[in-house]
Amino acid sequence: MAALGWLTPRRRSATARSVLAGEAAAEAARKSSLQLEREREEAAATATTEAEAPAEPEFPVVGDMRAAAFFDLDNTVMQGAAIFHFGRGLYKRKFFQRRELARFAWAQAWFRIAGVEDPDHMQDARDSALSIVKGHRVSELMSIGEEIYDEYMADRIWPGTRGLAQAHLDAGQKVWLVTAAPVETATIIARRLGLTGALGTVAESVDGVYTGKLVGEPLHGPAKAEAVRALAAAEGLDLARCAAYSDSHNDIPMLSLVGHPYAINPDTKLRKHAKDRDWRLRDYRTGRKAAKVGIPAAAGLGALAGGTAAAVALHRRRH
C-alpha cells in the first residue's frame, strides 16, 4: 500500500527501476485478473445493470481480441486521487495522525499544481506511506479498502469514462487500470467497475505482511509504460490496436505506446500535446472544474483541506 510518492531514488538507474516496477505490476495484475474472473463467474447469476448511457466512441473494434484498453485512474476514471481517498479512510480508522495527513496532502498538491516532482516532497510522502503500512497484513488492508471504496470512491467515478471502458468490454476486449496507487487499491476499484484487472504500485510483502519496501519504484510516468509493455507481451496484445486513456502529461509515455491514445479531462500540457498530435480528447468536467485544468479534485477534499493548508503554510515559512 505504498504508492503515495512518485520519487525515483537517486542512486539507482531510473530505467532499470522503471522496468522492475512495470514487470512487477504486470505480474500482479495478471494474478488479480484471474481472481476477478473467478469471482465474476461465481456472481454471474446476480449480475446488476447500470443506468449509464454515454455515447459510444468510434473505437473499439468489436471482436478484436489482440486489442485492450488501459485507463489511468486519478482524474481519468475517478475524480481526485484514489490514494488520498484511501488515506481519508485510514485516517478515519486511526492508522495515522493529522500531521502525516498534512504531509501527504502537501506532496500531492505540489505535484499536481506545480507539475513537477520535488525530490524532498516526494521522498517524504513515499517514506510516510511505507511506514504506515509496514507490519500490516495485506488481507487487512484489502478488507478495509473495500469499505473505503463504498465510503469515498463509488460516487466519484466519471460516468463518461466508465462508458468508454464499458465500450471496450462490450467489444470483448480486456480493460486494465494503470495507476501509481497501490495495486491492492487499484484491484478493488477494477473489481467494483467490472474491469479485467489493475496495474499498480507493488509493495513488498513477506508471508502476507508488508515490509515497508517497494518492488522497483512507484508505477508512475515511464514505469506505467513499462507495465503496459510487459502486460501486452504476456497477453499477446498488439499495442498498435490498443487504446490508452489519461488526464496527465506524465502519462504521455504510456499514451504514446498505443495506436489509440485518448486525453481525458486533460491537464494543460497534455491538452496541448494531444492537439498537436491529433489525439482524441474527452472532457467530462463542466464549468469551474473544467476551467481549472491541472488542479486536482484531491487538493480540495474536505478531510484533507485543513492538512493541505497547514502544510502549504509551513512550506512557505520555511522557504
C-alpha distances (whole Å) from 78 to each of 72, 81, 117, 292 are 9, 7, 22, 16
Is 72 tagged catalytic?
A: yes
User: How does strand 243-246 pair with strand 174-182?
Assistant: unpaired
Residue pair 250/221 in contact by the 8 Å Cβ criterion: yes
Integer Cα distance of 129 and 112 in angstroms: 18
| Residue closest to 157 by CA, chosen among 167, 165, 146 | 165
| Residue closest to 27 by CA, chosen among 219, 214, 227 | 227
Is 74 tagged catalytic?
A: yes
Vertex 117, ends 301 and 80: CA angle to 5°?
Answer: 20
Helix H segments across the chain? 14-42, 82-92, 98-114, 119-133, 138-148, 159-170, 183-193, 222-235, 252-255, 268-276, 287-291, 302-318
| Omega prior to 60 cis, within 30 of 0 | yes
Beta bridge partners of 280: 262
Among residues 74, 124, 251, 267, the one annotated as catalytic is 74
Q: Strands across the sheet with 174-182, in order? A: 197-201, 174-182, 68-71, 243-246, 260-264, 280-282
Integer Cα distance of 67 and 75 in angstroms: 24
Residue pair 267/247 in contact by the 8 Å Cβ criterion: yes
Cell of 108: 500531492
Among residues 64, 72, 120, 150, the one annotated as catalytic is 72
| Residue closest to 282 by CA, chosen among 167, 142, 201 | 167
Which residue numbers are catalytic? Answer: 72, 74
